[in-house]
Amino acid sequence: MQQQIGIFEAIVLGFVQGITEYFPISSTAHLRVVPALLGWGDPGTAYSAVIQLGSLLAVLTYFYKDLTEILSGTVRALRTGDTQSREVRQFWGIILGTIPIVIAGLALKSTLEAPNSPLRALSVIAVASIVMAALLWLSESLGKRTRTMKGIRVIDGILIGCAQALALVPGVSRSGSTLTAALFLGFQRADGARFSFLLAIPAIFLSGLLELKVLVDEGFSGGVGPIVAGFVSSTIFSYLAIAWLLKFLQTRSTLVFVIYRFFFGAMLLALLAAGLLPDIEPLRQALNLR
């Protein structure tokens, strides 16, 4: 953990994590930007990943019935030889769709965790937010929105999983990149979001456990209290965000998030240009600029 975090800060960060993990606006970007705007400093990837476990608990609780059906249906289908059942396709779509982000995460782990990593620069977050806003808008414009979870194929899971790997760059958004890919593939908004949330489960679990090990090795230098407070806060607000977004997408488009992402990225670029946020130096160091 790069900064000492108090209970109040932990609750706020848990709130930010909770509402932005499943909204297509990037939780890692907001966990980087909000503390910077409040003068708290960067909480670091380890703390950010651990409070993501609260988001994991929320999605496991919300989709408990779906997960039970997928697992039991997969076991039943494998026993009967029905390898094309809906549950089997969803299961392998999630498993194989997780591989791209695991490979990319291991390859970029040292870069992402470096104190002056260019990938955590606010300028990179701003550009990523704007680019992904444009792609989300394009997917809304071109996507047919005729497919549902019942017709998902394993290849859909793999393609959406490749999009999920892009979310390692702060500002891209895990739910944003996967929802965008699902819309391009012709899925209805709510069904695309539903699969996006299910696909996130293994990735959040693995990253959270790896970073929890880092905090354990450090002896919880920042104290256990802030970790618990952030975890509980993240769990509550993640659950509320999932429930609200799935209902919202049944009748509304993602335009509000497109507009927000454009505004968010433009605001960051404006603050950086005005010198109100310290960010350019890490990027200059990474590019060997003077």
Report the domain count for the chain: 1
With respect to residue 186, please indicate whether it lies within any of the assigned structural domains.
yes
**What's the pLDDT score for residue 3?**
58
247 is a domain residue: yes
**pLDDT 10s digit of each residue in the chain, 290 long?**
445 778 899 999 999 999 999 999 998 889 888 888 888 877 776 777 778 899 999 999 999 999 999 999 999 988 888 878 899 999 999 999 999 999 998 888 778 767 677 777 888 999 999 999 999 999 999 999 999 999 999 999 999 999 999 999 989 999 999 999 999 999 999 999 999 999 999 998 988 787 777 667 766 666 788 888 999 999 999 999 999 999 999 999 999 999 999 999 999 999 988 888 765 444 444 444 33
Q: Write out the residue range of the structural domain in which residue 37 sits.
A: 7-286
Is residue 1 included in any domain, yes or no?
no
Is residue 72, in this structure, part of any structural domain at all?
A: yes
Whether 82 is in a domain gets the answer yes
Q: Output the pLDDT for position 5.
A: 79
Please say whether the beta carbons of 262 and 133 come within 8 A.
yes
- Does the residue 2 lie in any domain? no
Q: Is 233 inside a domain boundary?
A: yes
Residue 17 in domain: yes
